[in-house]
Amino acid sequence: MEPLERYRPIIDDFEAFLAACERPLGNTVRVNTIKGSVERTLEALADDGIAYEQADWNPRVVRLETDSPGSTWTSFHGLTHGQEEVSAVPPVVLDPQPGERVWDSCAAPGGKATQLAALMDDRGTVVANDNNLGRISALRFNAERLGATSLAVTNADARTYSLKRFPFDEFDRALVDAPCSCEGTIRKNPDALDNWNEGHISSVSGIQKGILRRAVQATREGGTVVYSTCTFAPEENEAVVQHTLDNESCRVVDFDLGLEHSPGLSEWDGETFDDALERAARIYPHQNDTGGFFLAKLEVTAE
């Protein structure tokens, strides 16, 4: 837990934060409404003898009393998909609508991409991209298991992504759930901090900046881009958004979030950020008994 000490100045009740990070994470699934309603899925779980609790902020997110959520009847038939609770937040904040063109720039293994398709009633186009060919098979498997027919799967570097393969030249919305140092997954992956170092944070933040800038460029004026990570490092969060604000035509906008959270930072380690970054959300493990997450919502503006 030593690397997390650097965040003591920015986290209220830091001891509660550390204690939460040391507790194992419970099992959560998302109801896949492409295959069935929330009501039908809950009935199937009850029939299977599995105790559950719906999340207050989202009835499609369900905490299960089982050690193997991927082995249930509902999972086998595509009614549920194992997905950490905070991982289900970015698609909800992006709020895609049926018929739209949406880009998930870093989509594998497909939890958020298929959630986007479900939120769109599987109508429109969700371009699910990942640069890791080895992860594409998992993305395709989950799309097929969950019945997400609106997905188009691509394998490319998001930083230089080309839309020439499509009959359109811009997206309505884009999700950048960026590769990161994964500090916020410590409850699920106890070894997440084993190889932690500031050099890695610096390296991955450069990749994040390139992906987020490309997402803004590829989204129409008035469109929405959501940036998210599962890490606490401001270098990967506020600093990446600030870099995009400085170099692309966009602004940070407010959004509603039914989970307890802290605002984004306006400064870190001698670096100041635009006050608009306080509209971003930092979700810490002790606030909702979840993993850690960061989210910022951007609106693309005229050049």
Amino acid at site 119: L
- Say whether 191 counts as a known binding-site residue: no
Burial readout 70-81 (b: 16 or more C-beta within 10 A, e: otherwise)? eebebbeebbbb
CB 277 within 8 A of CB 252: yes
Output DSSP code: residue 275. G
- Say whether 180 counts as a known binding-site residue: no
- Say whether 147 counts as a known binding-site residue: no
- Say whether 107 counts as a known binding-site residue: yes
Q: Report the relative pairing of strands 171-177 and 101-104 from DSSP bridges.
A: parallel
Please state, in angstroms and rounded to a whole number, the distance separating the CA atoms of residues 43 and 182: 35
Q: Which of 21, 182, 230, 250 is catalytic?
A: 230
Closest CA to 136 of 109, 115, 118: 109
Please state, in angstroms and rounded to a whole number, the distance separating the CA atoms of residues 157 and 144: 23
Amino acid at site 19: A
Three-state DSSP class for residue 128: strand
- Say whether 111 counts as a known binding-site residue: yes
- Say whether 112 counts as a known binding-site residue: yes
Q: Hey, how many other C-beta atoms are within 10 angstroms of the C-beta on 247?
A: 13
- Say whether 109 counts as a known binding-site residue: yes
- Say whether 110 counts as a known binding-site residue: yes
21 catalytic per annotation: no
- Say whether 152 counts as a known binding-site residue: no
- Say whether 21 counts as a known binding-site residue: no
Q: Which helix (H) or strand (E) holds 153?
A: strand 151-154
Binding site, annotated residues: 106-112, 130, 157, 177
Q: Which residues are part of the catalytic machinery?
A: 230
Binding site, annotated residues for S-adenosyl-L-methionine: 106-112, 130, 157, 177
